[in-house]
Amino acid sequence: MHATLYFIAATTTTVAGKKSSSSSSLPLLIIILLFAAAYFFLIRPRQQKMRQQQAASRQVDVGDDVVTAGGIHGRVVGLGDDTVEVEVSPGVVLTFLRRAVNAKPRPAEDPPVPPNDPDDHDHDHEPDETAGPAS
């Protein structure tokens, strides 16, 4: 009887040992997948954005209109190795680090045409007389 119990205990431990070793790899796999997802959704896009900002700050030349990281608009009047001099108002020149100059501002879009524009001929058409009386 004692030998039977010992045999059952040994087989149960072996089965449980095999089961626990295969299930212990599943949490490890989930952790690896979470780190991979964090890399592709958080870290990689941030690195690409930083590369784009660095490339934009290297392309700045004297006379370009720029926007700084703080939102100050101005025109570049001087360039150093790591600095950019920006004229924000006539006679007012501020010195910024190159990396603080984000990008050139986007050109303003054309304003929308108002609906009652006299040049707009879509709304100024004569009623079609063959269509019959208007109700």
Model confidence pLDDT, tens digit, residues 87-100: 999 999 999 998 88
What is the H or E stretch that residue 74 is in? strand 73-79
What pTM does this model have? 0.45
Q: What are the pLDDT digits (tens) for 19-32?
A: 555 568 888 999 99
Question: In whole angstroms, what is the distance from residue 103 CA to residue 50 CA?
Answer: 12
Question: In whole angstroms, what is the distance from residue 15 CA to residue 10 CA?
Answer: 9
Question: In whole angstroms, what is the distance from residue 76 CA to residue 66 CA?
Answer: 7
Out of 2.30.30, 1.10.260, 3.10.20, 2.60.40, the CATH code matching 60-107 is 2.30.30
Domain assignments of the chain as residue spans, ordered by start? 1-58, 60-107
